[in-house]
Amino acid sequence: MKSKIENIKNNSQQILPLGAGGLRNNLYPIFLKAKNLNFLIVGGGFVAEEKLTFLLKSSPDAKVTLVSPMFREGTIALAKKGCVTLIKDVYHKKYLQGRHIVVATTDVPDINVQVWADCRAAAKLVNVADNPPYCDFYMGGIVTKGNVKVAISTNGKSPTTAKRLRQFFEDVIPENVDDLVKNLNEYKKTIKGNFEEKVEKLNEFTKSLVEK
């Protein structure tokens, strides 16, 4: 098993992270309907609780399973507030069955790498906490104002910077921005013409939002 893990580690070092070279962030952002997906978090410590906290804060209807020999009291309390299942057990690849997205957070590097390898073999998206070469995605900073959601990424370089930017945008984006979105949605329904004409009218109507 150890030699297998070492081979995986050596091979992963040959994989250049997305955006290699530091020129730009090449990540492609998407917004997932978490209630339609099954998440697995491997681990029950502080990092696992942190990942679960931010996942449920952004998507309270997310379906999440945690696998770990132990869980923090805070994690147990948090699980009761959402659609969260806690399984007291060591990691086994059988727990990947039926999962779409996996996050590995244990304090044992070999276990995290094994999770990564098993996910790659099963074509599942995986994130190994604080280890960018073993991540298919990053869990960045998120700002939510009603229907408006802003995601922030530093390409895995500085989660602290993403946190500070999140705090900044939470302050500068007004709470009533959701009213604007709802009103524009109703206005869109009244516009006559084809799709291109509707887009043009909406662009004209909203351009004052970005004018300096």
Q: Nearest 5 degrees, angle CA 23-CA 155-CA 114?
A: 125
Q: How far is CA 178 from CA 8, 149, 183, in A?
A: 46, 10, 9
14 DSSP 8-state letter: T
pLDDT given for residue 10 in this prediction: 54
In the block, tokens 């996996």 appear at 102
Q: Which residues pair with 68 in a beta bridge?
A: 88
Q: At how many degrees (to 10) do helices 195-206 and 177-190 cross?
A: 140
In the block, tokens 């013409």 appear at 193
Confidence of residue 18 (pLDDT cuts 50, 70, 90): very low
Q: Distance (Å, rounded) from C-alpha 132 to C-alpha 128? A: 7
Does residue 11 register a pLDDT over 60?
no
Q: What is the pLDDT of residues 74-99, one digit of tens each?
A: 999 999 999 999 999 999 999 999 99
Amino acid sitting at position 16: L
Confidence of residue 202 (pLDDT cuts 50, 70, 90): confident
Q: What is the pLDDT of residues 101-115, one digit of tens each?
A: 999 999 999 999 999
CB under 8 Å to 17, separation ≥6 — which residues?
A: 132, 133, 155, 156
Q: Distance (Å, rounded) from C-alpha 196 to C-alpha 190? A: 15
Q: Quick check: 42 and 115 in contact, CB under 8 A?
A: yes
- The model's pTM: 0.78
Buried b (16+ CB within 10 A) or exposed e, 84-107: bebeeeebeeebbeebebbbbbbe
